Each structure stands twice: as structure tokens, then as C-alpha cells.
């Protein structure tokens, strides 16, 4: 299949801005997006499906009298459809209300280096290769133990590109690649089945190792076969990136978004420079992290992505801004305007939310815990209170640590606490970071969390 | 349109060796609004044309999605889908087969009393503004209010190689109100979603003034709440929590794909796993409900499916693929979010049937426990571990509803918990929501008030 090239995308974006201005827009912005993906899917122990998805479209944002309209279309080949989108965006702006805080689209600025976000080799992956990756994962999983049942997973390769143009002179194009393999497993014995265990690898370069994923997904499931109940207590938790990902996304990451701060729905309002976490916690939002899953030269508004200090040695440093929130305070955007392809207007979102590593190995971390839990998968992280940071979730399976060793698995344990309290109770950070969606994080040891057993 | 699609299907069979092929095409128009404290962030409109092709070649699925109705593009996509399927089939152990499904020729028209496409953006903004005003104006401790609005209108086409040809109108109206209240360093959060497949009359049935006030009141009330005590406890669940409980603790396990993947219902078909009071349905036929439609995305007519009756597991929710494995009829549960996604088994409107208790009677029976009135998300696991987050709850002391508690959640094991449902109310309420299973589906869920004599409450007090 053919991709739109740089010139085609830039031309469409620029042309759209020009037409919009001619039709009466005071300001205009066009965002052109293309995503192409191929996947081979595993279902219930076998490779049974495949898909090829091509999605491209155009989003047009227009301001008239400080009122903002937006329209999108995925019909790019017809000039009249593009014009219809422009007119719809204009109509929406005219129907909308003026916003005194609207201070225009961003200005042009130089871009930094978005390193290692594109690998030609990923473009050359064929469906036969994907079948091969998926088979290797399956074989690796079942070879660990016959009781392992791979329920779902797959191997995929994707190409993404975007172009932005606006009436302030921004004209930009970027593209990248992603390769991903994943496997969800359960282990079965007689009438018993474990909770779902999951491993994956996602990279911008052709470096994913399907064998490791299969083996690890199986190892976790088998180790969860025999479980013991634990008692209700206040204890130590080692949170792996799996657990951190959901918890932080629905709580802490909201609290560092400038719009939430401005709108009085962040506990961090007015606390820049204060200690909000233990000294072991340093967090950066790094939109240029080499090979990061959210690494791009620019954000959804064409603003350069950058590295922003959020928390340094426990001290709150700054927040994440898009252009609107930044201008409202007379600041510059931090390049955190995120879009759902061409379908949405920009929203503030973390890029690569990077928790800095410490110097203990994961084994050392475990060996220092006399009594605690190792937490991988959480159920219900999305039901956390997004403002107060309170969470009440289920860890299943989780592993009990006794006298510095992983002793046995447990299931259905509830964890109840508050993320802002938990940040203050981080006592050790390991040195084993990995990428998981928007998170780059190591294992983290948190003291004093309430655990409800059976 | 349908002729082009039929043609492409024939290409799949005759040129690329597909045993079966189906095409879904959609032409959709969307209007979206986001308001923050009454400020319209952007008024948004979208146009989406797209086609999804699915083929069975050598017993494996191939799927292709393109945002175009152009015949040449479709031919190249179908060739791609067939090639991918053929490659994928190289390691196949058990070829996929489909259960028989009635051939259908139908044209489904929706005639809303108030068609969202005929309502101006100005009017939609003013509806959202009334919601905002009711919420923000309720109490000065309400600090912020975010309103999202969405309507979807258009048509979808389904054509397969068995002769089924369906044209079906699509119509959804939905809004979500999020409110944050704060006082003396305490932050509370409250959320309400409403939705309909009937039309914009949703806002006559659920007036914005009332919805806004309800959400704000809940957030303000929570300011005085305290944390619940963690541990086992008897609970009375309100209809909204029952809906999510039915959906998470049982519904997902009754999706046949998850049952086949090792879910705990697989070994319990026909067995009694709940108390006599437990009867659940998944029903796609309720007029105007958020999870209703006439045909699913495999062209199978929707129906009312009995899942569990008086505690005995009766049936599962099926696609044509899983129905064939179980030797039953497909239930019309195969749904795709849009042309970018393959149909998978999804719930429609899932609910518990009411019985004969009043709320007072349910509460009377609890000496010390919680009344859980409204939820905030939930999640299921194959082994039957469920979690439901709670956004509104109260203590029950000596049979009386008392002080509010905040940020609780409940959990348990499905096979144990359904046996512990010991009284079921006579009221009934169906709510609208969205469910994520890789794709998002619009669903309904609900039931009466019920009492469960033991779940685990997650709290840190």
C-alpha cells in the first residue's frame, strides 16, 4: 500500500489553511494524519486473524472572533469534501461562543531532535514476518509449561505521520514507526484458572524480542497458579510499571496538567517549589526521549516537544502546557498538546512521563523487603478519583515478598490509598526502567499502603 | 452502494479464494462539544466514510479497513485482506467456521422525534450551557464543570457472500458531566453520563437542569464524607451499581470468546452459580436504550438473551464464530466500534430482573454495612475477580442509611458473590455507558436495588 509522502501532506495542510483564511477564518490550523498498521492476531492458542488498517484524515481548527470551531474529514481525495470540512469548521466557530482567553495559535519555533523514532526496517515487515513473530511467542509460552494457555495477543507494525500548518507560519512534518508484540496468558489446572497475565514489547525500532515476551507471559501465569490468601494490613509495595501506568495516568498525570491547575482541579495548584514527594522521586516529561513511544519533533499544534522537569528530588518544578493554557498565564507551551489522530482538537497530555531510575537492581529491591507485595496488574485503576488521587483497586495476581524473596502468589487483594501520599512514601527506586505507553519507569518501592486481604 | 460492495465480495471469493466475505460501509456525521466552566473549548463536527472488509480464507480471518468508498481502493484492500488471511492460516490448528445465520434483506430507518442532525449547533451549545449552569450554580464549593457532548448520525451498510444486505440508520446522542467540588483541601469528583439511540429527546427525558444539579449535589455531599473501612461487609447496591456489577462481574464472563479463553463460566454452563434471585439478561431490543440496535455487525438480528435464570447459567453472548463452536444460534452480539475495527462480542443492555423488595426492606436487614449508590468505573478478570469503583456511598447502621463515605470500591469473586445476593428490589433503572474491550461500545446496564451479604470493600480507614 502507498503512503502519503511529506510533500503531499504538507501541501494539503497548507492549502487547507489558505482556503480557510480565504473563506473568512481569522486564524486557521490544519492537522493531517496518516496511520497504517498491519497486525497478526493470536486467539485462544493459535494465530487466527490478521488485519491491515489505513486511516488518514484532516482536522481543521478555525478561530473567528476568539470563538473556536473544529471539523474533520477522512475523505481527502475529493476537493469538495476538504472544502466541506473547512466550511463546517468555520460554521462551528461562528456558532460557538467567544473565549476572552483565546490568544491565537502558536508561533513558529525551531524543533529539537526526535531521535530514534523511525526505523525503515519496520516498514519492510511483511505479514509472513508477523506470523513468524506471533508463532515464536506462542511456542516460547507453551514451551515454558503445558498448563499455559495463550488467550490473546499478536504482532504488529505501524507507520504514523502527521503534518501541521497554521496561519502563524508553522509548517511541519514528522513520521515514525512502531513495532509491537504482546501476549496475554492464563494458566489452567483442573477447574482452576489464573487471572490474566500479560507481557509485551513495543519499540520505535525493529528490536522487539517475541521469545522473551512469550516466555515471560507464561512464567508469570504459571507462578500465579498456586495462591495463598493474605491478611489485611498496612505494608510495603513494589509497584512495577504495569501498576504505575494505570494509577499515574488517572491521578498524578492529571495533577500536572496546567489546565487542571488553572481550573482548580489539581492538588498541586500554588505548590511549585514545594516538596510533594520523597527525595527519591524525580519525574520529567520528555517529548524527545530517544526511542520513546511518544517521541516526536512537535506536538499536535506544531510546537516543539521538549524535556520538562515536573518533580525533582521530590520538589514540584512545573506543569504541562499546551499553547492555550500557556498563553493564559503569559508562558510558552511545553509541547504537550496531544491529538487522537485527525479526530480531535488538542488536549494536554504527557508525552514520555519519565520517572528517573535509582541505583538498586530489582533483585536488590526485593531482597530489602522483609514483608510486602510485588504488584504487576491492577483492576480498576480508571475508577480512581482523578482529582483527589484516592485509589481503591484490585491487584490480581500479586506476589507476596517475605524475607527478601518472592514467596508465593496471591489474588484479589485490594489496595486502598492516595497517590499523593504514596509519592511521599517512595523509599527506593530501582534501575530497571522500561517503556509502557506514555510511561517510562522502573520498579518503585512504596511504604505504608493499606492492603485488604480475604 | 450495495452493488459495489457485493462486487467486492465476489472478487474475494472468485479471485482470492475466500470461503466467506463481508463488507461493512459507513457514512457518519458527528457533532461534539467540550465545555469547561461554560467556556466552549471548541464546537466540533466530523465526517467519516469508511469500509471494513472481512474474509475467511483457509479458516483464518483477514480484515482490512480503509477510509474510502472508492471501488479501486476497495479491490486492493480486499486483495490485501485475503493475502493476510492466507498467510495467517499457515499455522492454524483449528480452522474458524461460522454458525448458520438467516439471510436478511432489510432497510432499517430510525425516525427520531428530535433528529440531532436537524438541531443547530447553537441549540446544542445552549443545552450544554444549561447543564453547566445547573452544576456550577448549585453551590460555590463546585469549582469546575466539564461537559462533553456527542451525537452521531448516518447510515451503515452490511453485505455478505451469503446474500444478506442490510442498510441501517445509526443514531446516538450522549453527554457526560464531570464536576469537581473542593473545600478545605478536600477534593471530590462526580460524573454522570446519559445516552440514547432514540434522539435528541434524551434531553426532554433527562432535563439538563436536573442532571447538572444531581451531579453537583453528589460532589458537594461527598465533601463531608469519610473513608470507608476496608474489609468484608454486607452492602446494598443501587441500580447504577447493580448495572456495572452485572456487566463486570458476570457480563464479560458470559461473552463466549472470554468463556472459551478460560473464563470461569466455561465449566459452569447449566449449573447453579447464583442465588435463586439472580436473573440476568442481555437485551438489544429495548427501544431507545443506548445499547440497542436491530442488526449486529455480522448481520445477525439482535435479541433478548437470557444469561442466567434463578441462579442457573442459561446462555452466553455469541458471534457467529463462537456460536458455531458451542453449536448454538448466534445471539447478535458481534459489534465493531467503527470501520476501523473488527466485530467482537460485546454486551448490549445488560441487566438484572427485579423481584419484590422495597429499598427500605433491603436496608433494614443490614446492621452494619454500606449503601453503594453510584459507580465510577469497573473491571473484570477471566478468573472471576471483579472490581467496581464507587463514587457515591453511605454507611448503613442498624438498618438506616447514614453518613456519606467516599472513594470506596468493591471487589469479590463472581462465583462466590452471586450466591450471596440475598434480596432483590422491585424498582428498575437502566443507565447508559461505554465499555472498553480494545474498542469502545455504547452499552446500557441496570437493574433494581439489591442486597449482597458479603463483598470486599476497599477502603483505607
Q: How far apart are CA A83 and CA A340, in angstroms?
A: 22
Chain B residues within an 8 Å CB radius of A50: 60-63, 81, 84-85, 87-88
In angstroms, the separation between the Cα of residue A113 and the nearest Cα of chain B is: 31
Average pLDDT, chain A: 96
For residue A255, give how far its alpha carbon lies from the nearest alpha carbon of chain B (Å): 12
Instruction: Indicate whether B5 pLDDT > 90.
Output: no
Domains along chain B with CATH numbers: 2-222 (3.30.2290.10), 231-458 (no CATH)
Residue B432 dihedral angles phi and psi, to the nearest 5°: -105, 140
Is the CB of residue B362 less than 8 Å from the CB of residue B450?
yes
pLDDT in tens, B13-30: 899 999 999 999 999 999
CA distance A282 to B314: 53
Contacts of residue B112, Cβ cutoff 8 Å, sequence gap at least 6? B171, B198, B199, B200, B201
Domain ranges within chain A, ordered by starting residue: 6-223, 233-452
- Torsion angles phi and psi, residue A20, rounded to 5: -60, -45
Radius of gyration of chain B (CA): 23
Architecture of the structural domain at A6-223: 2-Layer Sandwich (3.30)
Task: Tell me the C-alpha distance between B452 and B120, whole Å.
Answer: 47
- Inform me whether the pLDDT recorded for B245 exceeds 60: yes
Instruction: Using an 8 Å CB-CB cutoff, list chain A residues near B388.
Output: 380, 383
The C-alpha of A324 sits at a distance from chain B's nearest C-alpha, in angstroms, of 10
pLDDT at A1 over 70: no
Give the pLDDT band (50/70/90) at residue B9.
confident
Q: How many other CB atoms are found less than 10 A from the CB of residue A231? A: 9
Cell numbers describing residue B104: 436478511
End-to-end CA distance of chain B: 62
Looking at chain A, which residue has its C-alpha nearest residue B64? A52
pLDDT of residue B139: 97
* Helix, strand, or coil (residue B386): strand
Taking residues A276-282, what's their average pLDDT? 98
Burial track B312-321 (b if 16+ CB lie within 10 A, e otherwise)? bbbbbbbbbb
Phi, psi of A421 (to 5 degrees): -70, -45
Cβ contacts of B224-227, under 8 Å, gap ≥ 24: B224/B403, B224/B404, B225/B188, B225/B393, B225/B403, B225/B404, B225/B405, B225/B406, B226/B403, B226/B404, B226/B405, B226/B406, B226/B461, B227/A390, B227/A416, B227/B405, B227/B406, B227/B407, B227/B408, B227/B459, B227/B460, B227/B461
The percentage of residues in chain B with a pLDDT greater than 70, rounded to a whole number, is 100
Residue A59 CB neighbour total at 10 angstroms: 28
CB B459 within 8 A of CB B232: no
* pLDDT tens figures, A309-329: 999 999 999 999 999 999 999
pLDDT of residue A59: 98
pLDDT number for residue B154: 96
Residue A3 banded pLDDT, cuts 50, 70, 90: confident
Contacts of B43 (CB under 8 A, 6+ apart): A68, A69, A70, A92, A93, A95, A96, B31, B33, B121, B125
Position A25 confidence tier, pLDDT thresholds 50, 70, 90 = very high
- Asked if B67's CB is within 8 angstroms of A97's CB, the reply is no
> B451 to each of A95, A113, A414, B430, B454, how far by Cα in Å?
49, 59, 21, 18, 9
> Which residues on adjacent β-strands are paired with residue B12?
none
Burial call B33-66: b when 16+ CB within 10 Å, e when fewer: bbbbebbbbbbbbbbbbbbbbbbbbbbbbbbbbb
The pLDDT of B400-412, averaged and rounded, is: 95
How far is the C-alpha of B169 from the C-alpha of B107, rounded, in Å?
8
Beta carbons of B45 and A92 less than 8 Å apart:
yes
| Cβ-nearest to A52 among B80, B90, B386 | B80
Per-residue model confidence as pLDDT tens digits over B328-371: 999 999 999 999 999 999 999 999 999 999 999 999 989 999 99
Nearest CB among A84, A101, A387 relative to B187 is that of A387
The terminus-to-terminus CA distance of chain A in angstroms comes to 55
- Among A254, A34, A79, A361, which Cα is nearest to B144's? A254
Residue of A nearest to B267 (CA): A191
Distance of CA B457 to the CA centre of its chain: 24
Dump the DSSP string for B416-456: HHGGGEEEEBS--EEEEEEEEESEEEEEEEEE--EEEEEEE
Please judge whether A152 and B261 are an interchain contact, meaning their C-beta atoms are less than 8 angstroms apart.
yes
State whether residue A391 is helix, strand or coil.
strand
Which residues in A lie closer than 8 A to residue B84 (C-beta atoms)? 38, 40, 50-52, 127
Shortest Cα–Cα distance, A91 to chain B (Å): 9
Contact between A92 and B387 using a beta-carbon 8 Å cutoff: no
A281 and A426 Cβ atoms separated by less than 8 Å: yes
Mean pLDDT computed over every residue of chain B: 96
> Cis peptide before B324, with omega less than 30 degrees from 0?
no
Q: Residue B318 has what pLDDT?
A: 98
**A414 and A451 in contact (C-beta within 8 Å)?**
yes
Instruction: Please say whether the beta carbons of A424 and A446 come within 8 A.
Output: no
Nearest to B458 among A193, A265, A414 (CB): A414
3-state secondary structure of A168: coil
H/E stretch holding B412 reads: strand B409-413
Given a cut of 90, is residue B300 above it in pLDDT?
Answer: yes
Per-residue pLDDT at B142 exceeds 60: yes
Cell of A152: 490473546
> What gap in Å lies between CA B211 and CA B218, rounded to an integer?
11
Are A264 and B67 within 8 A, CB to CB?
A: no
Q: Are B76 and B366 spatial neighbours (Cβ–Cβ below 8 Å)?
A: no
- C-alpha cell recorded at residue A371: 514483608
The alpha-carbon gap from A356 to the nearest alpha carbon of chain B, in Å, equals: 29
Amino acid at each position: 500500500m502507498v503512503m502519503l509522502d511529506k510533500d503531499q501532506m504538507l501541501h494539503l495542510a497548507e492549502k487547507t489553511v489558505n482556503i480557510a483564511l480565504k473563506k473568512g477564518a481569522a486564524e486557521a490550523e490544519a492537522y493531517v494524519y496518516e496511520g497504517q498498521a498491519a497486525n497478526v492476531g493470536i486467539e485462544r492458542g493459535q494465530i487466527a486473524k490478521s488485519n491491515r488498517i489505513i486511516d488518514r484524515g484532516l482536522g481543521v481548527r478555525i478561530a473567528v472572533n476568539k470563538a473556536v470551531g473544529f471539523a474533520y474529514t477522512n475523505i481527502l481525495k475529493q476537493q469538495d469534501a476538504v472544502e466541506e470540512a473547512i466550511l463546517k469548521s468555520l460554521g462551528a466557530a461562528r456558532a460557538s461562543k467567544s473565549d476572552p482567553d483565546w490568544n491565537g495559535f502558536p508561533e513558529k519555533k525551531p524543533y529539537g531532535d526526535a531521535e530514534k523514532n523511525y526505523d525503515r526496517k519496520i516498514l519492510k515487515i511483511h505479514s509472513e514476518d508477523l506470523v513468524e513473530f506471533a508463532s515464536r511467542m506462542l511456542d516460547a509460552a507453551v514451551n515454558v509449561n503445558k498448563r499455559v494457555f495463550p488467550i490473546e495477543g499478536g504482532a504488529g507494525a505501524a507507520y504514523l505521520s502527521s503534518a501541521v500548518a497554521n496561519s502563524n507560519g508553522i509548517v511541519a512534518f514528522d513520521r515514525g514507526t512502531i513495532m509491537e508484540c504482546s501476549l496475554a496468558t492464563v494458566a489452567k489446572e483442573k477447574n482452576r484458572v489464573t487471572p490474566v497475565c500479560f507481557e509485551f514489547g513495543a519499540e520505535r525500532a525493529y528490536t522487539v524480542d517475541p521469545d522473551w515476551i512469550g516466555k515471560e507471559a507464561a512464567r508469570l501465569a504459571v507462578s500465579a497458579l498456586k495462591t495463598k490468601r493474605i491478611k489485611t494490613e498496612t505494608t510495603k509495595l513494589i509497584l512495577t510499571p504495569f501498576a504505575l501506568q494505570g494509577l499515574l495516568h488517572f491521578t498524578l498525570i492529571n495533577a500536572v496538567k496546567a489546565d487542571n491547575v488553572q481550573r482548580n482541579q489539581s492538588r498541586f495548584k500554588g505548590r511549585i517549589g514545594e516538596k510533594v514527594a520523597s527525595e527519591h522521586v524525580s519525574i520529567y516529561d520528555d517529548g524527545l526521549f530517544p526511542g520513546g513511544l511518544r517521541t516526536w519533533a512537535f506536538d499536535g499544534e506544531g510546537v516543539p516537544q521538549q524535556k520538562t522537569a515536573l518533580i525533582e528530588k521530590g520538589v514540584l518544578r512545573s506543569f504541562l502546557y499546551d499553547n492555550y493554557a500557556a498563553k493564559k498565564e503569559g508562558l510558552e507551551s511545553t509541547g504537550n498538546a496531544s491529538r487522537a489522530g485527525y479526530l480531535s482538537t488538542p488536549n494536554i497530555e504527557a508525552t514520555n512521563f519519565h520517572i528517573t531510575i535509582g541505583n538498586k537492581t530489582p533483585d536488590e529491591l526485593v531482597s530489602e523487603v522483609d514483608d510486602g507485595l510485588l504488584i504487576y496488574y491492577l483492576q480498576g485503576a480508571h475508577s480512581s478519583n482523578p482529582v483527589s488521587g484516592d485509589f481503591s483497586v484490585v491487584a490480581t495476581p500479586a506476589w507476596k515478598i517475605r524475607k527478601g524473596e518472592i514467596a508465593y502468589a496471591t489474588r484479589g487483594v485490594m489496595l486502598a490509598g492516595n497517590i499523593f501520599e504514596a509519592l511521599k512514601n517512595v523509599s527506593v527506586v530501582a534501575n530497571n526502567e522500561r517503556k509502557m505507553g506514555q510511561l517510562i519507569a522502573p520498579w518503585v518501592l512504596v511504604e505504608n499502603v493499606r492492603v485488604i486481604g480475604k | 452502494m450495495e452493488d459495489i460492495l457485493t462486487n467486492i465480495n465476489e472478487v474475494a471469493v472468485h479471485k482470492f479464494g475466500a470461503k466467506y466475505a463481508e463488507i461493512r460501509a459507513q457514512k457518519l456525521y458527528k457533532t461534539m462539544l467540550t465545555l469547561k466552566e461554560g467556556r466552549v473549548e471548541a464546537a466540533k463536527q466530523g465526517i467519516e466514510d469508511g469500509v471494513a472488509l472481512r474474509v475467511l480464507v483457509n479458516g483464518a480471518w483477514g480484515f482490512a479497513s480503509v477510509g474510502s468508498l472508492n471501488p479501486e481502493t476497495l479491490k486492493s484492500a480486499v486483495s490485501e485482506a485475503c493475502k493476510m488471511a492466507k498467510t495467517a492460516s499457515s499455522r492454524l490448528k483449528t480452522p474458524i467456521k461460522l454458525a448458520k445465520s438467516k439471510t436478511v434483506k432489510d432497510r432499517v430507518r430510525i425516525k427520531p422525534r428530535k433528529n440531532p442532525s436537524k438541531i443547530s449547533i447553537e441549540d446544542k451549545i445552549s443545552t450544554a450551557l444549561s447543564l453547566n449552569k445547573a452544576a456550577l450554580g448549585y453551590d460555590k464549593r463546585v469549582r469546575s464543570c466539564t461537559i462533553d457532548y456527542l451525537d452521531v448520525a448516518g447510515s451503515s451498510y452490511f453485505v455478505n457472500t451469503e446474500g444478506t444486505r442490510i442498510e441501517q440508520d445509526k443514531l446516538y446522542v450522549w453527554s457526560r458531566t464531570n464536576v469537581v467540588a473542593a473545600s478545605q483541601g478536600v477534593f471530590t469528583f462526580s460524573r454522570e453520563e446519559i445516552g440514547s439511540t432514540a434522539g435528541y429527546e434524551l434531553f426532554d427525558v433527562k432535563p439538563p437542569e436536573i442532571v447538572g444539579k444531581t451531579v453537583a449535589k453528589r460532589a458537594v455531599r461527598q465533601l463531608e464524607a469519610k473513608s470507608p473501612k476496608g474489609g468484608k461487609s454486607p452492602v446494598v447496591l443501587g441500580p447504577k451499581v447493580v448495572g456495572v456489577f452485572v456487566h463486570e462481574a458476570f457480563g464479560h464472563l458470559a461473552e463466549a470468546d472470554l468463556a472459551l479463553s478460560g473464563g470461569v463460566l466455561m465449566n459452569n454452563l447449566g449449573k447453579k452459580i447464583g442465588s435463586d434471585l439472580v436473573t440476568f439478561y442481555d437485551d438489544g431490543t429495548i427501544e431507545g436504550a443506548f445499547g440497542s440496535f436491530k442488526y449486529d455487525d455480522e448481520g445477525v438480528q439482535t435479541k433478548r438473551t437470557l444469561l442466567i435464570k434463578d441462579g442457573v447459567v442459561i446462555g452466553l453472548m455469541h458471534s457467529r464464530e463462537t456460536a458455531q463452536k458451542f453449536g448454538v444460534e448466534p445471539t447478535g452480539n458481534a459489534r465493531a466500534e467503527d470501520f476501523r475495527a473488527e466485530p467482537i462480542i460485546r454486551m448490549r443492555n445488560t441487566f438484572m430482573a427485579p423481584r419484590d423488595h422495597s429499598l427500605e426492606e433491603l436496608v433494614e436487614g443490614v446492621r452494619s454495612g454500606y449503601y453503594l449508590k453510584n459507580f465510577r468505573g469497573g473491571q473484570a478478570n477471566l478468573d472471576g475477580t471483579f472490581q467496581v469503583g464507587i463514587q457515591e456511598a453511605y454507611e448503613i447502621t442498624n438498618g438506616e442509611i447514614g453518613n456519606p463515605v467516599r472513594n470506596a470500591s468493591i471487589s469479590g469473586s463472581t462465583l462466590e458473590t452471586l450466591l450471596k445476593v440475598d434480596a432483590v428490589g422491585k424498582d428498575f433503572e437502566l443507565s447508559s455507558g461505554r465499555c472498553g474491550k480494545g474498542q469502545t461500545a455504547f452499552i446500557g446496564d441496570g437493574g433494581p436495588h439489591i442486597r449482597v451479604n458479603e463483598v470486599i470493600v476497599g477502603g483505607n480507614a
